[in-house]
């Protein structure tokens, strides 16, 4: 998030930067944190990371990779099950596919 941005503006900008797509945020899938996910930087700064996961509607743009992405694609549920990805990423996808009425808070 950059200073002066709303969370919706941040989602729109980040998705555009990483995928090339223009999107409208539709709903929040979840807010994820893990007290064991702590990063210590070489400058002495220490952070506990968290993430906000949104579902968005694609309204334009063109799929492309960027400095912040290595591959982009659309996949079926079966294809996703066979992908080699971190469990935390898979969990977010599962939560989206469950079509929950409330966002996950963890």
- Cα–Cα distance for residue pair 81/96, rounded to 1 Å: 14
Q: Within its chain, how far is the Cα of 11 from the centroid?
A: 9
DSSP annotation of 14 reads H
- In the chain, the number of structural domains is 1
Please state, in angstroms and rounded to a whole number, the distance separating the CA atoms of residues 9 and 13: 6
**23-39 per-position pLDDT tens digit:** 999 999 999 998 888 88
Position with higher pLDDT, 69 vs 31: 31
pTM for this entry: 0.83
CATH code where residue 25 lies: 3.90.79.10
**Would residue 2 count as lying in a domain?**
no
Q: What distances in angstroms separate CA 3 from CA 7, 9, 26, one per listed residue?
A: 11, 11, 22
Query: Does residue 1 belong to any structural domain of this protein?
Result: no
Residue 69 domain-assigned (yes or no):
yes
Assess contact for 55 and 93: CB atoms under 8 A. no
Its domain, for residue 16, covers 7-105
Kind plus residue range of the DSSP H or E element containing 11:
helix 7-19
């Amino acid at each position: 998030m950059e200073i002066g941005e709303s969370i919706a503006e941040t989602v729109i900008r980040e998705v555009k930067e990483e995928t090339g797509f223009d999107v409208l945020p539709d709903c929040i899938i979840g807010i994820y944190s893990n007290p064991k996910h702590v990063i210590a930087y070489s400058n002495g700064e220490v952070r506990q990371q968290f993430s906000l996961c949104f579902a968005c509607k694609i309204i334009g743009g063109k799929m492309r990779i960027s400095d912040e992405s290595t591959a982009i694609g659309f996949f079926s549920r079966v294809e996703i099950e066979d992908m080699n990805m971190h469990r935390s990423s898979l969990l977010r996808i599962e939560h989206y596919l469950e079509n929950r009425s409330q966002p996950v808070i963890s």
